Amino acid sequence: MPGILLSLPLLAAIIAQGTAPDADLRKSVVNISVKQELRSPTTPWKRESPQGIGGSGVVIAPGRILTNAHVVTEASEIMIETPQTPLPIQAQLLGIDPTRDLALLGTDDADFIAKHPAVGLLEGLPKDGSRVTVMGFPMGGDAMSTTSGVISRTEWAPVGNRGENGMRIQVDAAVNSGNSGGPAFGEGKIVGLAFSGLDQAHADNISYLIATEEIQRFLDQVAVGAVEGNTVKNIYVQTLENPALRAKLGAGSDVSGVVVIDQKGGPLQPWDIVTRLNGSAVDNKGQITIEGDRKVSLDCAVGRFVISDTKKNYPIEILRQGKPMSLELPAYTRAGRVIGNPVDGEYPYLLYGPLAFSPLSMDLIDAVQGWMVVRQSPMTAFLNDDRPSGGKEFVAVASPLLSNPVARGYEVIPGQTVKSVNGKQFNNFAEFVAFLRNLKDEYVVFEFNEERCERIVLRRADIEAASERVMESNGIRRQCSKDIQKVWEGQ
């Protein structure tokens, strides 16, 4: 990640920031302009032509600006500007979390730091009905926009770019394109960060904020250099509302909770009743109560659990065949799952003759519209499995065959996964790359997991020349991504 990590003393300063006067609130809001160079998982070596996008941000510590991840993702240039800056100032990306749609920028410009006071984060959740002011730089003008609204509800719901859940605040203030990343203020503090608004054809001035508790967990992870998102619940459950279901399980009127459908890896079993999760009582609709009287999804009980060296499991209480039991479940985030996503569009790849390979990612599955799901692929078992991978990856074909005579008569479909090379199977992409590097056989035979996929047979002696011609004809600078270059070069 470019730049420096957020230091622990600076993190403490963010937490300790006091209430800011209105004039300082306005000075803390910045206009962000980005040159974005997107990458596709089907052409991982290529950056698209730069395009300009804009957003907003807020100063939360000296020289540190908070914004949305989608504002600065895959950026080649990030510039910040305010009415107090005579010229735009370049900023660096210090941390990014697409799962919470949060990013942290930094600048060491002394003049900017002196003129832009930091504003502290609200501790806890704002009260429903409280008034907030949303500031930012939406499209339609150059000046800062200010809108006011009332908080209507707070819920555990999607906040990130990939469907992940977090604490979300609904407010009836207008949030338009360009407002993204701008702050919502209440009583001199940051109450939340604007990240989306509903289509006006379907809702009038309904917008959403990322709650400060999400921001704080993000900053804590940036401080230690491990941005991994929220802890996820690896339990599939159903409500305990139906009278027949309750009677079958012997659940009297004093029992509330949810019924386990499945839990990958145990120790829960189907028909267990979950009554408490990470210290929170679970009701029959699958909700918990927080902040006194707020009802939110039970996923929140796990999502708020912070994994540490001393806390790697969270408690759960169940009824199994009417008998109470107390257990612990391992805590983890989606960052280490078998089919994940690289951060900020950095897709690993290797060109091998006319073939392009990469680790299978959810982005690649989305790009090819998941055709392999109907091809009896072994990867389908991992689509909804958030457990840590233990180093396992699927090696996938990233793109159609690149034009070269050695590929005559063959066809591949992006997303199909490698079963073996010359009979050898692999645990991950690095093992696959190292095996190809050290291969001495006359022929290289690729077999694939999905049904009806052709075998690819190449003469090893032809590969190097084919790779050079493919790179030259397609304008590809590197045969592999930087992250696996040492593996490919045998270092």
- For the chain, which residues make up each domain, given as ranges? 8-224, 236-332, 343-488
What band does 140 get if pLDDT is binned at 50, 70 and 90?
low
Helix (H, G, I), strand (E, B) or coil at 375: helix
What band does 2 get if pLDDT is binned at 50, 70 and 90?
very low
Does residue 98 have a cis bond before it (omega within 30 degrees)? no
Domain 236-332 belongs in CATH node 3.90.1150.10: no
Tokens 């409280």 locate to 130
CATH number corresponding to 8-224? 2.40.10.120
Instruction: Judge whether residue 354 has pLDDT over 70.
Output: yes
Nearest to 1 by CA among 176, 221, 189: 221
- Give the torsion through C-alpha atoms of 208, 214, 216, 219, to 10 deg: -100
Instruction: Judge whether residue 459 has pLDDT over 70.
Output: yes
Residue 12 has what pLDDT? 46
Instruction: Judge whether residue 398 has pLDDT over 80.
Output: yes
The two structure tokens encoding residue 99:
């799962």
Residue 370 has what pLDDT? 82
Neighbours of 415 (CB within 10 A): 28
Domain 343-488 belongs in CATH node 3.10.290.10: no
Q: Mean pLDDT across the stretch 112-117?
A: 96
CA distances from 175 to 68, 101, 179, 197, 304 (A): 14, 16, 6, 6, 27
Q: Mean pLDDT across the stretch 56-71?
A: 96
Q: Mean pLDDT across the stretch 193-210?
A: 70
Tokens 């692929």 locate to 377
What band does 143 get if pLDDT is binned at 50, 70 and 90?
confident
CA–CA separation, 283 vs 296, rounded Å? 10
Q: What is the mean pLDDT of the chain?
A: 91
Count of residues making up the chain = 491
pTM for the structure as a whole: 0.91
Neighbours of 44 (CB within 10 A): 26
The two structure tokens encoding residue 393:
């990856």
Nearest to 346 by CA among 363, 334, 369, 332: 363
Lowest mean pLDDT segment, chosen from 94-98, 157-161, 184-188, 325-329:
157-161
Instruction: Judge whether residue 404 has pLDDT over 70.
Output: yes
Tokens 């689509």 locate to 383
- Percent of the chain whose pLDDT exceeds 70: 92
Q: Mean pLDDT across the stretch 234-255?
A: 96
